[in-house]
Structure 1
Amino acid sequence: MIIDTADLDPTSSYKLLIGSVLPRAIAWVSTRSTSGVCNIAPISFFTVVGRLPPMVSISLQPRSDGVTLKDTFVNIRDTNEFVVNLATIDNAHDVHRSAFEFESDVDEFEALGLTKGTTEVVRAPRIGEAAISMECIVDRIIPTPPLPDHVVWGRVERFHIRDDVYMPGGRIDTAALGAFGRLAAEYSLIDNIFTTPLPDEVVDHWATARAVRLDERPTNYSPIDTQEWSASGSTK
């Protein structure tokens, strides 16, 4: 199958991207509006873009109506700050719930029952339940027309790392985190680690095996085929 991207609408393009670029790390972003209302959203168009200063990038689409800017983006644009929190399996359902489109006057920490952790540089709270949080100041905002999408680069000013996952030598105990990522419109738990080369029999097995579902749904199930999915990254 060869697909000419000139023939794709935004939804079709999005489906191919999220099914091809995976697993994607999830930035569980907390922000605060100019009026003091706190917002939380999972952003899987997320990566590292710099080391000195440490810098991360998130990309935000509009709400599911395709027009209205998400509260997360509006808050970042208006306050010049945000917090990236690590998504881990013990918070997976709250991460998913935070993808729903709450009204702009709803404090999502309160709606989701999450703790407002203290921060040192930004006014937005970190998520207290997260093992790792990064306080970020906006470095630049890049619009990506013709759609109302935006890329945000943030300078990391403070790391908050739970003591039990911070190891001697300044590294993170990644095997202890229970991190998970985005897999198309679903999620994937990071529960195995390897270095190469792997034994041939291991490669042969995993190269042909279908992924194991943890939710007991059929192996070909996807939320993309349901009414709750939208091409905005939000859950309806």
Structure 2
Amino acid sequence: MIIDPSNLDATSNYKLLIGSILPRAIGWVSTQSKSGIANLAPISFFTAVGRKPPVVSISLQPRSDGVTLKDTFVNIRDTGEFVVNMATLPLAHAMHRSAFEFESDVDEFTAIGLEKADSVIVKVPRVKDAPISLECKLDRIIPMGGMNDHVVFGEVVRFHIRDDVYMDGGRIDTGALQAVGRLAAEYTLVHNAFTTPLDEELLSSFRGKRAGRLDGHADGYSPIDSKEWSASGATR
């Protein structure tokens, strides 16, 4: 199948992107409005883009109506600050709930039942139980296309790393984190690791094998087929 994206609408292109770029790291972004209302949102268009200074990027689409700017974007634009928290298996459901489109005057930490922790440099609170959080100052915003999509770059001004996963030599014990990533419209648990080459017999055992499910849904299920899904990264 060869597909020309210029013949597709934004939703169709979005489906192909999120099903092709796997797994995607989740930037669980906390922000705060100018009036002090805290917001949380999982952003799976997220990556590192610089080293010295350390810089990360998040890409934000509008709300599910396709027009209204998300609170995450508005808060970063207006305050110049945000925090990226790591999503892990014990926090996965709370992270998923933070994808729902709350009203702008709702403190999402309170609505979801998550405890805040103070940051050091920025005013934005962190997710207390997240093993890793990155305090960020806005570097730049780049509009993408004409659909209210934006790429936000932020300089990491403080790393918060839980003591038990910070190892000698400045390395993070990734095997202890139970990190959660994003597939198309589902999540995946990072629960194995390898280096190459692998034994041919082991490789053969994986050929044609489908990923297992942890949630009891039938093989092939996807939230994309449900009315709750939207091509904005938000859950309706």
What is the identity, as a one-letter code, of the residue corresponding to 2:165? V
| Matches of 1:86 and 1:206, distance apart in 2 | 29
| Distance of 1:165 and 1:233 partners within structure 2 | 29
1:205 equivalent in structure 2: 205
CA–CA separation in structure 2 for the residues paired with 1:102 and 1:146: 25
Q: In the alignment, what sits opposite 2:226?
A: 226
The 1-side partners of 2:60 and 2:211 are apart by: 28
Offset of residue 16 of structure 1 = 0.2
- In the TM superposition, residue 202 of structure 1 has moved relative to its aligned partner by 1.4
Counterparts of 1:31 and 1:114 in 2: how far apart (Å)? 14
Task: Indicate the RMSD between aligned Cα atoms, in angstroms.
Answer: 0.6
One-letter identity of the residue aligned with 2:76: I
Corresponding residue for 1:182? 182
Task: Give, in whole Å, the separation in 1 of the partners of 2:107 and 2:181.
Answer: 25
Residue 208 of structure 1 and its aligned partner are, at CA, apart by 1.4
Of 76-85 and 111-120, more deviation after overlay is shown by 111-120
The 2-side partners of 1:48 and 1:178 are apart by 20
| Matched residue, 1:103 | 103
**TM-score scaled by structure 1?**
0.99
Residues 1-236 of structure 1: pairs in structure 2 closer than 5 A: 1-236=1-236
Distance in 2, matches of 1:134 and 1:117, equals 12
Q: How far 1:145 sits from its partner (Å)? A: 1.8
Runs of 5+ in structure 1 lacking a partner?
none
Cα distance in 2 for partners of 1:21, 1:124 equals 30
State the alpha-carbon separation in 2 of the partners of residues 207 and 193 from structure 1. 18
- Residue type matched to 1:157 in 2? V
The one-letter code matched in structure 2 to 1:181 is G
Residue 129 of structure 2 aligns with an amino acid whose one-letter code is E
Off by >3 Å, runs of 4+ in structure 1: none
Q: Secondary structure at the match of 1:104?
A: coil
Amino acid at match of 1:109: F
Kindly state the Cα deviation for residue 147 of structure 1 after the two structures are TM-superposed: 1.2
Write the deviation string for residues 170-211 of structure 1: whole angstroms up to 9, x where unpaired: 010000000010000000000000000001111122231100
Return the offset for 1:121. 0.7
In structure 2, list runs of 5 or more residues that go unmatched.
none
Partner letter of residue 214 of structure 2? L
Distance 2:227 2:201 in 1: 41
Structure 1 stretch 26-35 or stretch 200-209: which is displaced more? 200-209
| Distance across 1 between alignment mates of 2:12 and 2:204 | 32
Structure 2 residue identity aligned to 1:140? R
**Residues 106-144 of structure 1 deviation map (CA, whole Å, 9 limit, x = unaligned):** 000100111111111100001101000000001110000
**Aligned-pair identity (%):** 68
